[in-house]
Amino acid sequence: MIWYKDNNSDIVISTRIRLARNLDKVPFPNALTDKKKVLKDIKSAIVNSNSTLSRELEYTDLDKAGQKKREQLAEEHLISPQMLQGNDKGVFISKDRTMSIMLMEEDHIRLQVIMSGNKLHEAYDTASKIDDVMEENLTYAFDENLGYLTACPTNAGTGLRASLMMHLPALTITKNINRVINNASSLGIAVRGLYGEGTRADGNLYQISNQVTMGISEAQIIEKIENIAKQIIEMEQKARELLNEKSNAELSDKLWRSYGTLKYAQKISTSEAMALLSDVLLAQNMGIIKEKGKKSIPECMVLISPAFISNDKDLSADERDIERAKFLRANI
């Protein structure tokens, strides 16, 4: 199931597990001269793997895919922003779009599992199984003391990044979000914007993930994220209750106005739409707005991104804003 489709999650919108892997005795992509050959080798190993895995995967040659296709995949969170540029890159994506295997990102292999809601264990188990299958035909760069070796030392060890995309509007409105970010950070947990490091938290969406990958087991990483997420969820819920008690009419007015704007605007930018969608998601979660549109809010949040809105047309920013408004009027 595509993570954003019919996604009715509350607070934790999606779970992502990423494993960084590299081939033994092969330079990392940034130092690699014959990327094409290595890309081909990994691709063959996966395609020819003896499991059901290969049948579930579809390969996209990013060199041939065109810029818009790359952007759409990034907007779906199926490839990382780093995969938007450069040659000799490809990605396997499962038919149900819950897993992707990026080839020649920063590392040779970046395996990702993404699911709706709060599913750290399920996602990790799935990733781990795929990792085992791949290892049957590939020899990973692994050091007994360090663990898996990666292009950037911050990923070495487990090579695991576990992350949750969290919708934290009340903590943002009540200005408690910076305290959350600082607390998490002091515990080795990063809180980032929608598309990862250095991006804005459009739509009040934050990604929380582990910063440390070495000297700690996979199970410990998952447990740590799980515990911090539990605390943040509680804080967000308390902030929502407080908002509701303190200024019910004002809150409900703000959220319904956002709904009205999405229902009738004729032109809207991505960032304004994300802010309004965040309001409507909050309102639905709090039971203030019972109306449900044709598509869930997380789905709208993905599908209003520039490349999705443009689709196969070549639209100016102004034209995209008009198309985006049209899409939202029909689907909210």
The CB-of-248 to a second copy minimum distance in angstroms stands at 9
The DSSP secondary structure of 135-182, one letter per residue, reads HHH--B-EETTTEE--SSGGGTBT-EEEEEEEE-HHHHHTT-HHHHHH
What beta strand segments (E) does the chain contain? 12-21, 57-61, 90-94, 99-103, 109-116, 142-143, 147-148, 160-167, 189-192, 205-210
d(CA 182, CA 208): 12
**Nearest CB to a second copy, comparing residues 55 and 257:** 257
Q: In 3D, which of 105, 106, 99 has the Cα closest to residue 17?
A: 99
Which one of residues 129, 230, 257, 292 is an interface residue with a second copy (CB under 8 A)? 257
Which one of residues 5, 68, 224, 263 is an interface residue with a second copy (CB under 8 A)? 263
Which one of residues 74, 138, 180, 325 is an interface residue with a second copy (CB under 8 A)? 325
Which one of residues 187, 212, 307, 322 is an interface residue with a second copy (CB under 8 A)? 322
Contact between 316 and a second copy by CB under 8 A: the answer reads no
- Per CB under 8 A, which of residues 221..250 are in contact with a second copy? 249-250
Which one of residues 260, 271, 313, 330 is an interface residue with a second copy (CB under 8 A)? 260
Which one of residues 121, 267, 269, 331 is an interface residue with a second copy (CB under 8 A)? 267
Q: In what order do the strands lie in the sheet with 57-61?
A: 57-61, 90-94, 99-103, 109-116, 12-21, 160-167, 205-210, 189-192
Contact between 265 and a second copy by CB under 8 A: the answer reads yes
Contact between 297 and a second copy by CB under 8 A: the answer reads no
Give the number of residues in contact with a second copy, rule: CB under 8 A.
19
Strand partners, 256: none
Give the binding site for a second copy (CB under 8 A).
Answer: 249-250, 252-253, 256-257, 259-268, 318, 322, 325
